[in-house]
Structures are given as C-alpha cells and as structure tokens.
Structure 1
C-alpha cells in the first residue's frame, strides 16, 4: 500500500510540477521512505539467503535509514524478526546482525554520536540465541553491558535487566530462554560476580531458572575474584531453587572452602558427625548449611536441609545433627531436644557434635550443671569430647565464676591435646582477672600461646584491666609493649582501658603519657578519656593539672565537651582552691 501511494504521489507531483527537478526529487524521497519501512526491511532480511553490506546499501538508501534509525527504526525491524518463527533461523539471525552493524554505520555517517538503543541490542541477542549463534550473541551482549551500563552504578542495574527481560517477553512465543542464561555468562566473563548473582536472582524471581552452567559460571567468577560471600550466595540460591550442584560446582565450592581456610575443619566436623569420611559433595553442602546456621536463618536452613534429604544430597544423621545445631544457635532448647529425641526414634545414633551443641547452649544460658550432665552422658556413650566441647564448657564455668572447675576442664583439654579458641581463652582471662588472679591469667596465656594460640586485642585488654584492678602499673605498661611487639595496633578501646587502669592505680603521669601516644598514632582522644583524667586529677587534689587538661580539651576540638560530673567536680575544686588562698592585701 505504501509503495502504491508513493507511486501515485510521484505521478501527481510530476504532473503538477511539469516533470521538473522538484517533482522528481519529491517522488524519489517518497519511494525511499516506502522502501525503508521496518516491514519491508524485515521481509527482505527474512527471505534473503545472505545479506551483505553492498546488497543492503544497494537495496536501501543509506540516507533514509540514517534518518529513521534514531526513531526506533532498527528496533522495529529486529522486533518484527524476533516475533515471527522462520524456517531457517541461522540465516535470518546472521542477516539481522549484518543489518544491525550496517545501520549503525549508516547512522554514524550523518551523526557520529548516534548509536543503537539498548532495546536493539537486547532484541538481537535473543534472536541470535534462538538460532544458537551463542558466540555472536555473547560478544554483542558484552558490548551492550559496556555501552549501556552507567559507570556510577552497578552494571546489573534494574533498568538494564528490565530492558533485557522486556525484549525477551516482547519476542513472544518465538522466544527462548537461551539469551537470558547468556546474560549470567556475560557478567561472569566480564569478572562481575556480584552482577552475575543479581541477574540470577532477577531471572529466578520472574520464573526463569538460570541453567546449571550459568550458576557454575557465576560461582567460578566469584572464586577467581575472591568474592567468597558472593560465591556462597550463588551456591545457596541454586540449591534453594533446586538446581543441584554437579561435579564442577562441588569442586568450585571446595576450592572456595580451601581458600577461606575452612576445608579441613568442615571435613573433620562431617567425619565427627558421621563417624567416617564423606565425599566432597556432602562437605560442600554442610559448609553451606553451617554458614546459614551462623547467620541464625533457622527456618531457611531447615527447609534446605529437608530438601537435601529428599534428594539424598546429605545423610540422615548429618542433616538431623545440623537441625539440632540450628535450634541451639537461636536458643530454642525445646525444639533442639525434640529433634534429638526424633533422631533416636528414627534409629540414628547421637554423636559428639549434637552433644557439643547442647553443651554450648546450656553454657551460654548459665546452666553449667546441665551442660556437665550432657558431657557425662556423652562420655558414658563412648563419645569423645573435642576442642569445641571443652571450650564451651570452660567459658560457661568462668562466666559463672566457677574458676576452679573451669581450670580443671582446661587441664583436661590440654591433656587431650586440644587448645581453646581465642574467644574461650578470653573468657578464661576475664574470669581469672575478676577473681584477682591476674598473674595466673598471664601464665595461662603464655601456656596457650606456646601451643599456637594467637592473642587478639581483647586478650590484652582483659589483662590490662586485670592489672589495673590489682594496682600494678608496671604490669599494665608491660602488656601494652608486648601488644605492640606482636604488631597489634591498639585502637580507642584499648587506650581507654589502658588509661583507666593507670588512673585506677593512681599513676596519672603515665596515663597522660599514653594520651600523647594516642595522638602520635592518630587515634583521637574522646570526651570520656579527658573526663577520666580530669576527674582523677581532681580526686588527687591536683587542680592545676586538671585545669590544664580542661583547657587543652576545649582547644583541640570544639566537639569535645566535658561531662556534667567532671565539670562540676572541677568547678568545686577551683572554688575550694580560691577560698583557701588568702586575699591579696
């Protein structure tokens, strides 16, 4: 119809213009417009065996294409090709790709800044994917990500994903999900694991599960980028969506565990539960469940464990033991005990891990007697306590002030060849220091350090506080220098404990020296530190030094304001000092 109208219009103009130059120019323009409609171009591309740049230039005037391209001309051509099934998919897709590049060159000849829209890229990617031209589709998709993703935001922005999925939906019944899976692969190849994860989530929310190869690509990308948190989220998502790991996925997860330094510990835990070594697939899925348990996502991990049981990914005793751990982690003793009893009813033998979980939760809640009963029951069944068992019980004893009992379990632990972890060691040090046994605490730290334990800032902070309570300023300074010697850079919390301990010992000069050390280390003093020193000088009767610190405090930072108590103490000392001085004659 457009061609007929164009011919009719050309004859009319020719008659009115007397066949002159103007009439011929208008007629030519109308013919070009009719010949370059999206329907005409898509029909040509669908039925031409091989469209070349020369053939396209001869068939369609470049000027008309260049003028129409910015207004969705290319989008309309590609959408028309995408919506209709074709007998020969590959030639049509290749013709569409040739037209895509040719039209970009034609548009650039008139406007160098012009480029194809994101929609054009997306439609062509789906068209190429449908024809199984995955290499060409991948190259085009990566170019789209580079061109149409803002540098200031994530490449996997909602607008990009929305445009790509909309192109898939607009392709209608002829569309396939191959292009959607390619999107995850493209992000993975571009070393964007976070964006690959977001693409997986986006597709899963819209009812299109990424393929196993797409999930594996995201896992591999995260492993190479050392984005271990992202890798675990990918593994969790694929397991939740019942896209179960194959050998390649398991190897990737095992590699991540190894690089995190958790592989040996997780494998030993699995062996402790089951009684013998298990395959890497079980170790990988146990590691995922433990990660979710540590995050206290009980309902999610229990649902996941039940699905793993249904698929025989995990053994019964391992899954039930992990469910007990999940309930214990959130302090739900009733549910944990019910799960333990259910294990027994099902003929599953209790293991050291289950008992350790119960000992941990009772120790944390202060029920040390109950924890001891579980330990005795555990030993009577022929199960051996391990390092975590002793650590939880020792920490519970020291929290309740049961120092002698805690030390006895500590001796048993060392005798069995185990060393407490750093958190349990710190609990022991706090308990001993609170009991006035700071020297014994120091000796205990030395003994565990000889066995390989590496102390942290909390360790030294506990000893500093203990020496402050014992009134030993030399011990405080000695611990600080030992801390520095080990390369631990103290922060504001350590300095606050240090200065408070020295003030508690009455050694204010030494405390003020550490205020200067803080400034050299670029650790800003707080109001609490100045209040502590000012109030301590006031209690000693050194009003002059207290006033000097007050002036320094106000001069250093306008945000440093003394507390009401320390300010009023200073005011009272100044008034008292003035009243005691004789008036000038």
Structure 2
C-alpha cells in the first residue's frame, strides 16, 4: 500500500512505488491501466523498478496485447533520452511476465511474451545503444520462437515488421544485431538467410555482421554457406577487410584448396600475390564452376574498378569463364583484348583455350595452341597435358594421346584421375588392355588413386579379350582397397565373366552382390540364363529363371532370353523323349 506524504509517495512493506512519479500516474493503481497510460508512465519515469510498477498498475490485466501495445507506443515515438526509456521498457517487459504469472485471476494469463514483444523491445534497446541487453533478448527470442514449426523466414518477417512499425523512430541497428545473434547461436545457415532477407529489403548488413556469419560458417564447417556469405557481400559491394580475408583463407585451408589456388594465382601473375587476391580468385573460380559466367564477368569488372584484382588475373579469369562453358569464340576475343591492352598470354590462359578446343573435339586447334604456347616460351603444366590426353583418347587418337602422355611423364607430371580413366577406356576399347593395366600400375606407383571408373574400364577390357582370371583379380583388388563396387561394377564383372564362359565365378559374384544388399536386375539374370543356355545347361538356366520369378515380380526376362530358354528346354525334351 502506498501513502501520499507531502507530495511524495512512500512505499510500505508489501509493495509500493519508490521515488518520485508524475501526478498523472497516481490514479493508475485504482483505475484500469491502458497501454497509453503505461507507455506515458515509462517514457517519463526516471527509473521504473519492479516495486514501482507493481504499485502503479494492476498485474492481472497484463496480456500479450497490452504488452505489445505498450512497447509499440514507445518504439514509435522518438525520445530525448532513449536510454532511460529503453531500460524502463525492459524492466516493464520482465515485470509483466512475473506479474502475470503470479496473478490468480481467471483465466490465467500466459507466462511468456509474444514474438512481437521481443522484436519491438530489441529495436527499442538497439536505438538506445544497449546492444548487450538487446543481444541477450534476441538470442532468447530465437531459441524460444524458432523451431521446425516456426521457420527462420517467419521469424525474419516478424522482426522486420516490428522494425517497420516503429516508423520514423526506427534504426537499423537491431537488424544488424539479428545476424550477429544467429552467428553466436551457431546457426550459419540462418545468418546467411537473414543477410539475404535484409539485402532484399534494402537494408545492407554491416561488415561486422557479414564477418560474424562468415565466422560461424567456418567454425561449423559449413563451407558452402561461408562462400555464399562472401559472394553476397562482394556482390552488394560490401568489400572485405582483413578479418574477412583471414576467414576466407581459413575456409580455403580447411577445404584443402589453398595450395592449389595460390599456385594458380602465381601461375597467372608470375609471382605470389596478397591473400586478398587469392580469396577473391577462389570465389570467382567457384562461381565459374557453377556456370554463372555473366555474374562472374560483372563481378570481375567491379573488382577491377576497386583494384581488388590485378588486370592480368581478371582478364585470365574471364577467358577461363568463357572456356568453361565452351564459348571458345568469346574466349579468343578476350585474349585479343588482353594482347591489345599490353597483357601477355600466360600458361593458364593457353591451357584454358586448349581445354575448350579439346572439349569441342578440335584437336588440331588444340595442337596449334600448344605450339604457340611453346614458341612464346611458356611451359605447359600438368592440366595442359591432362586436357590434351583426355581429348585425344575421346577422339580415338591413341597414338597422339600416348605421345602427349610420354611428354608429360618426362616433365615429371602425373595424370589426374579423370584423364587417366579416359586413357584407360580408350586403350581397353582398342584391345590394349595389358598396356592399360601396366600404365595404371606405373601411375599408381606415383601416387594416383584409382576409382570405380578406373576399374570399370579394365573389367570391360578384360571381358573383351576373354581373361576371366584378371576380372576376378580386379574384383578382389577393389575389395582390398575398400571400394564399394555398386550395381554398375557388379554388372560389368558378371557380364565379363559370362562373356568369358566362366559362369561359376559369375554366380559367385552374383551371390556376393546380394550379400551387399544390392538389388538384382533383370539384366543380370538375363546374362546368367543366356550363358547357361549357350553351355547347354538347361537345368541350371531353368533354376535361375524360377529364382528370378520368385524373387521379385518386377524381374522379367527379356524376350530374347526367354525364347532362348524355351528353345533349349524343347531341345532337351526332344533329345530325351521316349518316342525319339
């Protein structure tokens, strides 16, 4: 109970208003408190304590709507001293929760605030530069209100709506804090979504907000998210500082791509470059791999204007972008432009052109490009030879491809796995499976790790020459290297063994395939049934047919296999008929 003593309100034990208050607030303890009364009180009271609030306002009437309306009223009006008002609003926010929980009036009010209340109060605190309080409140709101049923986009909509409803008194500080809050909660995907959301609505997140999102993504190992953050900030012309570059270099290092990117930049420019150049080159290369050429060229031109990249590096990357999508004509035009601007074509540019010609199947143009490269005193490197070798074997130019391989071997380079597979496939298709196997052994001694496609080429090759034992050996080697064969490789193994006539081993591998819980196919049964029919073993062929039909109703033999089986069974019956 409070007593008026000489213009002062003295709180007695049991609750009351401490300190001075305006005369207009004296009647609020006896009359219903409207949001306007409460907001006026909070805006003009130097310090609103819990005791003062309990004495001034009836706790039982504090509903969600009441609290929302009070905070909205405070948020919409600028104040001469925003910090006391924001602190009073925060005290009222916490007091209203406790007061509502202790009220016994039916029905019992909810014990937690609405999302809108959280959002409005965060903007109020941010406007008063009370960032620590705002951050704590924002993280609490995200934890309470963001779930599988309440997505990040819904939270963002509510938070931005509270910002807009604040009107002319609004500040973007709270919006930047939202990105920081997601980052501190280790939600890099949501932090990226918040950055995109704000950018779409004309509010560019601050550099520190972008860096926070980038750091959260790097720490969580979400490298794709990290690159998306870096790309977004670069596209929005929020250029990187030293902290940004260090974070991006950290992502590159953890991805295992740092050394390769540094070597590529040095190959283009002729000497080592600053980490900032390496970071932006890595971003550009990632976008080129995704075939976003128009965006890449626009971004590179902006980087040139800001002196983020050197001229020769930017022009070389534009050539690479055109070559990557197979536009050799535009790439050559860009090369002519480089020469006109006094820039010398480097090994990377020549290699890009060679790749484009090889992909088109124009091996004569690729060879001329190589000769021009050598005449300019520019040395080819491993990727140059990889493109030439893969291109030759794709076109069936075995002799020329092997010649390039010998040159590469003499220079001390090692084939990459993609070019190696193309070479093995070409050799095996031409019947040179022994040579292919020897070359693979030599490359494995230099550190090349074969994959499923590597072994698939050898399996098909040995199947053509009828070497069943080598097919079985390849399967065991794959098992030793713990390479999961998969249905495709098992199909090639069984097909090769059936072609060699070794049906016993083929059935063993068929059984091994089933042990690995790989689904049988009609093709596999067809090969085995046809093989036994050709060996005149109708009994085994019928057994496999029955097993096929009972295993899965979707497994149906091909018409050719079925007719072959029928003819074999009829012939057997005619042979052992009593009337014959």
TM range (shorter): over 0.9
When normalised by structure 2's length, the TM-score is: 0.92
Matches within 5 A, 1:173-572: 173-572=168-567
Aligned to 1:82: 75
Which segment is superposed worse, 360-369 or 217-226?
360-369
Does the alignment pair 1:52 with 2:49? yes
For each residue in 1:374-412, what CA deviation from the matched residue of structure 2 results, as whole angstroms up to 9, or x when unmatched? 000001001010000000001111111111211111111
> Within 1, Cα distance between the matches of 2:206 and 2:133?
20
What secondary structure, in the 3-state scheme, does the structure 1 residue paired with 2:407 have? helix
The SS at the match of 1:344 is: helix
Stretch deviating more after TM superposition (567-576 or 492-501): 567-576
Determine which of 115, 131, 152 is the counterpart of 2:128: 131
**CA gap 1:186/1:151 in 2 versus in 1, 3 angstroms:** same
| Equivalent in the alignment of 2:34 | 37
How much does 1:539 deviate? 2.8
Gaps of 5+ in 2: 1-26
The reply on whether 1:101 has 2:101 as its aligned counterpart is: no
Aligned CA-pair RMSD: 1.6
Residue in structure 2 matching 1:116, options 100, 113, 116: 113
Measure, in 1, the Cα distance between the counterparts of 2:269 and 2:359: 26
State the secondary structure of the residue aligned to 1:313: coil
Measured after TM superposition, the shift of residue 200 of structure 1 is 0.6
Cα distance in 2 between the residues matched to 1:86 and 1:564? 86
Contact 1:32 1:64 in 2 (8 A): no
Measured after TM superposition, the shift of residue 522 of structure 1 is 2.0
Output the CA distance in 1 between the equivalents of 2:378 and 2:31.
87
Secondary structure at 1:407's aligned position in 2?
Answer: helix
Supply the distance in 1 between the matched residues of 2:415 and 2:347 (Cα, whole angstroms): 17
Secondary structure of the 2:287 match is helix
State the 1:569 CA deviation. 2.9
Q: What TM-score do the two structures reach when normalised by structure 1? A: 0.92
- State the shift of 1:573 in Å: 2.9
Cα offset, 1:364, TM superposition: 1.4
Partner secondary structure for residue 419 of structure 1? coil
Q: CA deviation at 1:187?
A: 0.7
Q: For residues 152 and 76 of structure 1, do their structure 2 counterparts lie closer, same or farther at Cα, with a shift above 3 Å needed?
A: closer
State the Cα distance separating 1:532 from its structure 2 match. 2.0
Equivalences for 1:8-47 in 2 at 5 Å?
A: 34-47=31-44
Q: C-alpha distance in 1, partners of 2:449/2:142? A: 46
In the TM superposition, residue 571 of structure 1 has moved relative to its aligned partner by: 2.9
| C-alpha contact 2:71 2:121 (8 A) present in aligned 1 | yes
**SS state at 1:420 partner:** coil
Residues 28 and 56, structure 2, Cα contact 8 Å, conserved in 1? no
User: Contact between 2:29 and 2:55, CA under 8 Å: does it hold in 1?
Assistant: no
1:35 deviates by 4.2
Cα contact 1:184–1:199 (8 A) shared by 2: yes
Which range moved further: 218-227 or 561-570?
561-570
Deviation at 1:113, TM superposition (A): 4.7
Q: In structure 2, the residue corresponding to 1:114 is in which secondary structure?
A: coil
Deviation at 1:333, TM superposition (A): 1.2
1:404-438 alpha-carbon deviations (Å, 9 max, x no partner): 21111111111111101100111111111111111
Q: Are 2:267 and 2:347, in contact at CA under 8 Å, matched by a contact in 1?
A: yes
Q: Secondary structure at the match of 2:405?
A: helix
8 Å Cα contact 2:525/2:544 also seen in 1: yes
Structure 2 distance, partners of 1:561, 1:188, is 55
Q: 1:257 Cα deviation (Å)?
A: 0.5
Distance apart, 1:547 and its partner CA: 1.5
- 2:9 maps to what in 1? none
- 1:172 corresponding residue in structure 2: 167
How big is each residue's C-alpha offset from its partner over 1:437-479, in whole Å with a ceiling of 9 and x where there is no partner?
1111111011111111111111111111111111100111111
Q: Helix, strand or coil: the match of 2:412?
A: coil
- Aligned partners of 2:557, 2:121: CA distance in 1, in Å? 68
Q: Which residue of structure 1 lines up, in the alignment, with residue 139 of structure 2?
A: 142
What is the alpha-carbon distance in structure 2 between the residues aligned to residue 125 and residue 248 of structure 1?
Answer: 27
| Counterpart Cα distance in 2 of 1:239 and 1:254 | 15
**Structure 2 Cα separation of the partners of residues 443 and 160 of structure 1:** 62
Please report how far the alpha carbon of residue 33 of structure 1 lies from its aligned counterpart in structure 2 after TM superposition.
8.2
Q: Which runs of 5+ in 1 are unaligned?
A: 1-29
Distance in structure 2 (CA, Å) of the matches to 1:351 and 1:41: 73
Distance 2:503 2:514 in 1: 17
2-side partners of 1:33 and 1:266: how far apart? 74
